[in-house]
């Protein structure tokens, strides 16, 4: 195997890690599912689609079509959550979200969701439906065909976990940050005569409907050296994300810094990069979370496997009906995601610092020890 192949296929992620991430990701994604039916009321004159295939759009689809799209998205996210036909459901979810957000963004306002909506399709190739899923229960041996052995929440207990989809997702996140950094460089963020970060802060404080909690204080703190340093830190951090993909430790360290950075942006500018933090969750060691010991009987497993598809359809319909109510709490959910992400990132950085300090002290003690 070449060094490149070894790099791509090497990683610390287990089947439990990606399986639990699937559940966390889809649960937190539900409040952010786009609401489309209202688009049918907008006249074609308001269309301002972004560059790409949606630029060919002349009018929004009819309301019945938009409603069906909402329902398909709701069922796809519940199917992915429950791990039913997970790969198909995950890819369908990403495709439908791309179309749905493309329609929403055709009104002129574009949000940062590209990384988030690509996660299901990418993670489907990491077999994130092999554990804690209806697929795992459906593929267990049935009564009369041998006894059920092994972990009932896992499809292939002995198969190695694919690592390359995680590396691919990391590269995709890195490229997204590079595309954000390059315009900043070309627009003068590294020019010592201007402080772009401060300009954004002042604008958000006086123009934005919901500026950050610290916006008023920071807008009246015009320290040129501080804001210039923040300009450079922002650009270098965004450019460094892609480079950090070379090492999982470095990658997780940079992501931890980014979670703190996103929380700071929310507090200062009132901009919530929730989708980014959700995507970072793919690189958390969820398998270390201690869960209560439990075991499903063969009868219960068979019942879930048999009636699971009907249950997914019913729950998907409920999610669709409750869509407006769920959409109304997305800001509260976003705060929880950002705070939890920053807490997780800070915890990782603290553990890393302790490990490095312990290694340094040990190495220094060994050098200072007398030779026998």
| Residues 186-225: tens digit of each pLDDT | 988 999 988 999 998 998 888 877 788 888 888 888 888 9
Query: Is 299's pLDDT higher than 60?
Result: yes
In the chain, the percentage of residues whose pLDDT exceeds 90 is 59
Backbone angles phi, psi at 154, to 5 degrees: -125, 135
Instruction: Pull the structure tokens for residue 107.
Output: 């009104």
| Residues 330-344: tens digit of each pLDDT | 889 999 999 999 999
Distance CA 370, CA 24 (A): 53
Arithmetic mean of pLDDT, 164-192 = 94
Distance CA 71, CA 320 (A): 6
From residue 360, alpha-carbon distances to 250, 251, 252, 254, 346 in Å are 18, 22, 21, 21, 21
**Planar angle of CA 155, 158, 164, nearest 5 degrees:** 85
* Among 96-100, 217-221, 309-313, 332-336, the least confident range: 217-221
By CB neighbour count within 10 A (0-12 exposed, 13-18 middle, 19+ buried), where does 88 fall? middle
Identify the residue whose tokens are 């709490």. 329
Residue environment code for 296-305, b if the CB has 16+ CB neighbours within 10 A, otherwise e: eeeeebbeeb
From residue 347, alpha-carbon distances to 50, 254, 351 in Å are 39, 13, 6
Cβ–Cβ under 8 Å, residues 124 and 91: yes
| Residues 118-161: tens digit of each pLDDT | 999 999 999 999 999 999 888 765 544 434 444 556 776 667 89
Arithmetic mean of pLDDT, 248-257 = 96
* Among 68-82, 136-150, 200-214, 247-261, the least confident range: 136-150
Query: What is the average pLDDT value for the chain, to the nearest integer?
Result: 88
Cβ–Cβ under 8 Å, residues 27 and 336: no
pLDDT, residue 372, reads 53
Beta bridge mates, 131: 154
Q: Please name the residues in contact with 335: beta carbons below 8 A apart, sequence gap of 6 or more.
A: 266, 272
Beta bridge mates, 154: 131
Give the confidence band of 67 by pLDDT, cuts at 50, 70, 90. Answer: very high
In the chain, the percentage of residues whose pLDDT exceeds 70 is 94
Arithmetic mean of pLDDT, 3-24 = 94
Structural domain boundaries in the chain: 33-162+293-327, 167-291+329-372
Query: Is 48's pLDDT higher than 80?
Result: no
Arithmetic mean of pLDDT, 239-263 = 96
- Here the contacts of 8-12 (C-beta below 8 Å, separation 24 or greater) are 8/163, 8/164, 8/167, 9/162, 9/163, 9/164, 10/163, 11/163, 11/166, 11/167, 11/248, 12/248, 12/285
pLDDT, residue 298, reads 78
pLDDT, residue 215, reads 84
Highest mean predicted confidence (pLDDT) among 73-87, 140-154, 191-205, 296-310: 73-87
| Between 105 and 247, the higher pLDDT residue | 247
**Planar angle of CA 356, 5, 118, nearest 5 degrees:** 80
pTM for this one?
Answer: 0.90
Instruction: Pull the structure tokens for residue 17.
Output: 């890690």
Give the confidence band of 230 by pLDDT, cuts at 50, 70, 90. Answer: very high
């Amino acid at each position: 195997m070449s060094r490149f192949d070894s790099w791509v296929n090497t990683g610390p992620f287990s089947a439990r890690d990606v399986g639990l991430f699937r559940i966390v990701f889809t649960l937190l994604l539900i409040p952010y599912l786009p609401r489309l039916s209202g688009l049918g009321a907008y006249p074609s004159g308001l269309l301002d689609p972004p560059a790409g295939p949606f630029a060919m759009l002349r009018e929004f689809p009819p309301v019945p079509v938009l409603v069906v799209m909402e329902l398909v998205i709701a069922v796809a996210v519940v199917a992915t959550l429950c791990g039913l036909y997970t790969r198909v459901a995950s890819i369908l979810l990403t495709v439908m979200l791309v179309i749905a957000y493309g329609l929403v963004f055709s009104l002129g306002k574009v949000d940062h969701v590209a990384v988030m909506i690509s996660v299901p399709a990418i993670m489907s190739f990491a077999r994130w439906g092999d554990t804690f899923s209806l697929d795992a229960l459906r593929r267990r041996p049935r009564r009369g065909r041998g006894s059920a052995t092994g972990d009932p929440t896992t499809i292939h207990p002995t198969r190695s976990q694919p690592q390359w989809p995680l590396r691919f997702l990391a590269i995709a996140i890195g490229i997204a940050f590079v595309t954000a950094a390059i315009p900043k460089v070309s627009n003068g963020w590294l020019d010592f005569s201007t402080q772009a970060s401060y300009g954004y802060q002042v604008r958000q404080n006086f123009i934005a409907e919901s500026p950050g909690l610290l916006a008023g204080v920071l807008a009246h703190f015009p320290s040129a050296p501080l804001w210039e340093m923040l300009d450079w830190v922002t650009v270098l951090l965004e450019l460094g994300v892609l480079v950090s993909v070379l090492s999982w430790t470095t990658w997780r360290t940079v992501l931890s810094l980014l979670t703190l950075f996103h929380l700071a942006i929310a507090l200062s500018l009132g901009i919530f990069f929730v989708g980014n933090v959700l995507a970072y969750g793919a690189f958390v060691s969820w398998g270390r979370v201690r869960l209560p010991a439990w075991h499903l009987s063969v009868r219960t497993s068979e019942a879930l496997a048999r009636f699971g598809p009907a249950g997914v359809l019913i729950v998907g319909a409920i999610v669709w009906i409750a869509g407006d109510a769920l959409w109304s709490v997305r800001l509260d959910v976003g705060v929880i995601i950002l705070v939890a992400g920053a807490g997780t990132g800070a915890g990782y950085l603290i553990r890393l610092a302790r490990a490095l300090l312990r290694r340094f002290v040990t190495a220094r003690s060994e050098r200072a020890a007398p030779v026998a």
